[in-house]
Amino acid sequence: MVTHAQRHSRKGVPAFLLNCRRGFATLRALTFADRGLTEIPPLMVIVMKKGSSREDLARVTRSVEALGCRAQALPGVEPPTLAVTGSAEPLDPDIFERLPGVARAVPVDPPFKLASREAKLEDTVVRVGSRSIGGGGLFVIAGPCAVESEELTMETARLMKRAGADALRGGAFKPRSSPYSFQGLGKAGLVLLSKAREATGLPIVTEAVDHASLDLVDEHADIVQIGARNMQNYELLKRAGRLAKPVLLKRGMSATLEDLLLSAEYVLAQGNPAVILCERGIRTFSRHSRYTLDLSVVPAAREATHLPIFVDPSHATGRRDRVPGMARAAAAAGADGVMIEIHPAPEDALCDGRQALLPQQGAELIAQLRAIAAIVAKKAEAVR
C-alpha cells in the first residue's frame, strides 16, 4: 500500500523530510534526539534500497567520511536512511547513487543558507567604529528607552561613556503597544542622538519602524535596530538588507530561533552581512515577569549560526531590580553583548521607566559584566 507520505515524496524520500521547516524539525528530531549528536541540519539524505546489506551501508558511510562529512543513520527509519552533515559545499548525489544498495541521494535545502553555521564556520565580526561585535568580548549598549529631550540624551550619553558603555541606545521612533502612549520625537530625536555621538564619540543604536523611518535612521545611526514587533516585517527586513550598516534584529515575542534566523536571512540575502541577533524575552504562561528571558537561546544560536547574539534583560524582565542579575547571567552564558535601558530619572520617563536602571546602577553593572566576560573569555581560551 502506498502511504500518503510516499505519494507526496520526491525521489522516494517522504516529502515532509525535504525543503520545509517542518521537515528539518523532523529530521533533527529523528537524528539527534537523545543521542548527543550534533544539531547541524543535514545537507543530504541517503536512502538505502530495501534489502540492502550492512556492508552496503558501511560502504556508503565510508564514502561520506572520505569527503570529510558525517553520516548518521536515522533511528527507526526503514529502509535505512543516512543524514549527511559537515560539508560547506553542496554534495553531488551521483557519488552516492552509484554505490551498491543506494536507492536515492537527495540534497536537502537548508532553510537558512546564509545565516547557518554550516554556511560559514567562523563567527561573524561586526565592526562599529573602533570596536567590534562578535568573535569574543562583550559589547554593551546602554541608554534610555526613548529620546525624550536634549538634556536627557546628552546627560545619559556622558554618563554611559564614563561608565564604559560601547554604544548609546534611544528610540526616536517608538513602536508602543498603545496608540495613546508617547510615540517618540521622530526625526528631531535622531538629531539629538547625532549630537550625543558628537559629544561623546559613542556610536548610536536606534530603531526604525517602517520604510520612511529606516531612511532617516540610516542617516543618523551606527546600528539600525529592528524591533521585536517588526521581526517579521519582511519588506522592512529586505530594505535593511540593502543598507551599508549593521542591523540589530530583536527576536519577536512569539518567534522561535528558526524564525529569527529566517528573518536574519532576509537581511543577509540582500547583501548586508552585518546582522546582530538580540534575545529580548518571549511570551510564555509565566506572569511573574514582563516576558520570559530565554537565555538558553544564546548557546543554541551559537551552534546554529555564525551571527553575534545579544541579550536585552530590560524588556525581558520589565523591572529594574531584575535587570542586573539577568544581564550578568547573559554575560555568563557567553552573549556577545547586552542592551540595557538607563534613565537618570526613571520616575519621570516617558517610556519604560520601571525597567530603567539609574546611571550609577548601570555603571556598576557594566563593570561587573566586564569582569564576567573576562572569565568567560579565559574559559573559552582554555577549552580551545
DSSP string, 121-152: -SPP-EEETTEEESSSS-EEEEE-SB---HHH
Q: How many CB atoms lie within 10 A of CB 351?
A: 20
Phi then psi for residue 50, to 5 deg, are -60, 135
Compute the Cα dihedral for 149, 197, 335, 344 and give only its sign: negative
* Residue 369: CB minimum distance to ligand PEP, A: 18
343 binds ligand PEP (CB under 6 A): no
Question: Which string of x and - marks every residue 101-140 that binds ligand PEP (by CB under 6 A)?
Answer: ----------------------------------------
C-alpha to C-alpha distance for 168 and 204, rounded to whole angstroms: 5
C-alpha cell at 218: 540610516
* Out of 145, 157, 208, 262, the residue judged to bind ligand PEP by CB under 6 A: 145
Q: Which stretch binds Mn ion (CB under 5 A): 55-63, 137-145, 236-244, 297-305?
A: 137-145
CA torsion angle for 49, 54, 56, 62 (degrees, to 10)?
A: 130
C-alpha to C-alpha distance for 31 and 36, rounded to whole angstroms: 10
Which runs of E-coded beta strand occur in 222-307? Answer: 223-226, 247-250, 275-279
145 binds Mn ion (CB under 5 A): yes
352 binds Mn ion (CB under 5 A): yes
* Out of 227, 324, 334, 362, the residue judged to bind ligand PEP by CB under 6 A: 227
Identify which of 48, 43, 144 has the alpha carbon closest to the alpha carbon of residue 100: 48
The secondary structure of residue 13, as a DSSP letter, is: B
Interface of this chain with Mn ion, residues 275 to 334, rule: CB under 5 A: none
228 binds ligand PEP (CB under 6 A): yes
C-alpha to C-alpha distance for 312 and 316, rounded to whole angstroms: 7
Binding partner of 228, given Mn ion, ligand PEP, none, CB within 5-8 angstroms per partner class = ligand PEP
* Residue 184: CB minimum distance to ligand PEP, A: 10
Phi then psi for residue 221, to 5 deg, are -85, 155
Give the residue with the Cβ less far from Mn ion, 265 or 352: 352
Question: Which string of x and - marks every residue 247-286 that binds ligand PEP (by CB under 6 A)?
Answer: ---x-----------------------------x------
Binding partner of 227, given Mn ion, ligand PEP, none, CB within 5-8 angstroms per partner class = ligand PEP
Binding partner of 207, given ligand PEP, Mn ion, none, CB within 5-8 angstroms per partner class = ligand PEP
Q: How many residues bind ligand PEP (CB under 6 A)?
A: 10
Binding site for ligand PEP (CB under 6 A): 145, 171, 175, 207, 227-229, 250, 280, 315
Binding site for Mn ion (CB under 5 A): 145, 352
